Amino acid sequence: MKNTSESSSHKRPKKVKKNQNPGFFDRSIVLKECEALPVPFLLISPSGQLLYLNQEARDMLSGFSAGYLNNSVFDYIPAEWHEKFRTILEKAVSTKKNQTGEIPFKTVSGIKVQAKVYLNTCDEIAYPALRLIITDIADLKTSFARQLFESETKYRDLAENINEGIYLTERSFITAVNNPLLRIFGYSMDEVIGRKVWEFVVPEKRKEIREIFIAKVKKLDSTPVEVECIRSNGVRFWAEIKISIFKDQQRIFGVLSDITNRKNVELALKDSEQKYRSVVTAMNDGIILRDAEGKVMAWNKAAERILDLNDEEIRNLLSLHPGWNAIRENGEPFPLDQHPAVLTLTTGKSKQKIVMGIHNTKGKLKWITINSEPIFGENGSKIVAVVTSFSDIFCISSE
């Protein structure tokens, strides 16, 4: 019977004997794959000793094809960057994962090259080693800086030639604004930078607006907000603010529009609407406002009283209530398409003193007289609503 240990040892793979010369490697591995690389490629030991340089690396760092094996990669890195590179190197060794960083290298001509390095362990050779790839990013950075400058210039010109005010904040403090924003508020740049946005809101609303914006940032809510602000001369005005919130929730891009004229119109309309509503509410005549489709939009209490309908019933009222059995003065049925509101919506013409008899819910025949007036849109050609007014003539009991 064969010895178990011999059998198992027979199946074990042979150990690869480490070569004692750290400069030795199987050139076939790197020559084939690395010599033709268009970027500097190096093999280095965990301590940073150079083991191999491809042609690009030799041209960049050593300037000759031999004699570099006694050098360390640190010889080509400025002293103030040694600690950072050593950290990257040690992390690559300990984690055996790719590590990258930006490190300057001194070329053979003495010029510093700002480079991005890529470090990872190399398993193809018998002794500990790491691959190091160097990518010159100086041209890339120059190109990027130029594109960034051109982009910033383009967007800066755009920002300065619009009517809206633009601002940037970081941790609620204003860090940048455009000139239109300064013109809107009447401040200089120095008077704005470093302050908080809600400092430009009317005093009695600052706490409320601060809480609103904090909540919007937490919820990443970018819906517009209407805010009453104050100019440097103390004049109040209305602004609409739209914000874009950066993911880190520390920076905000805001666009502010002066909407004072629009707000004044809205307030005037609201005030006017309240006055007319008060007049309509106090009237003895019933008033119903319908849209272009005939849907009831508004009415007064007198309408509910005269028609003997509650709030919900009048809201869903068609031109003629199905339970009314509406009749003309001669006793004939009153067709739906002849209702004054329907005729006005159809023809655009007003109707006056149309008499109608309706049977209310209490079983009484009530006679009313109806007037209708069209409401036209801005261009004066399209009907957008119709108003009907009506009043009691007399009521006859059906009993």
Residue 186 has pLDDT above 90, yes or no: yes
Q: Provide the pLDDT for residue 399.
A: 47
Name residue 205's amino acid.
K
In terms of pTM, does the model score above 0.95?
no
The whole-chain average pLDDT of the chain stands at 78
* Nearest by Cα to 46 from 110, 101, 125, 108: 125
Structure tokens at 343: 């005729």
Of 82-86, 108-112, 120-124, where does mean pLDDT reach its minimum? 120-124
From the list 318, 329, 327, the residue with the least C-alpha distance to 388 is 318
Asked which of 33-42, 175-184, 211-220, 346-355 is least confident by mean pLDDT, the reply is 33-42
β-sheet bridge partners, residue 123: none
pLDDT band at 144 (very low <50, low <70, confident <90, very high): low
- Residue 18 confidence class, pLDDT cut points 50, 70, 90: very low
Q: What fold characterizes domain 281-397?
A: Beta-Lactamase (3.30.450)
**160-261 and 281-397: identical CATH topology:** yes
Pick from 195-204, 242-251, 276-285 the range whose average pLDDT is largest.
195-204
Pairwise pLDDT comparison (21 vs 384), residue with the higher score: 384
Which is it for the CA torsion 313, 314, 315, 318, positive or negative? positive
Chain segment 38-56, per-residue pLDDT in tens: 778 888 888 888 888 888 8
Predicted pLDDT at 239:
92
Which residue's structure tokens are 């280095």? 44
- For 153-174, write each residue's pLDDT tens digit: 655 665 666 778 889 888 889 9
More confident residue, 173 or 17: 173
CATH 3.30.450.20 fits 160-261, yes or no: yes
Greater pLDDT, 176 or 250:
176
Q: Write down the domain spans for the chain.
A: 27-140, 160-261, 281-397
Residue 103 has pLDDT above 90, yes or no: no
- Percent pLDDT > 90 in the chain is 15
Q: Please give the Cα distance from 119 to 40 (Å, whole number).
A: 12
Q: Which fold has domain 27-140?
A: Beta-Lactamase (3.30.450)
Assess whether pLDDT exceeds 80 at residue 287: yes
Arithmetic mean of pLDDT, 299-314: 85
| Selected residue with higher pLDDT from 194 and 56 | 194
Tell me the sheet residues that pair with 344. Answer: none
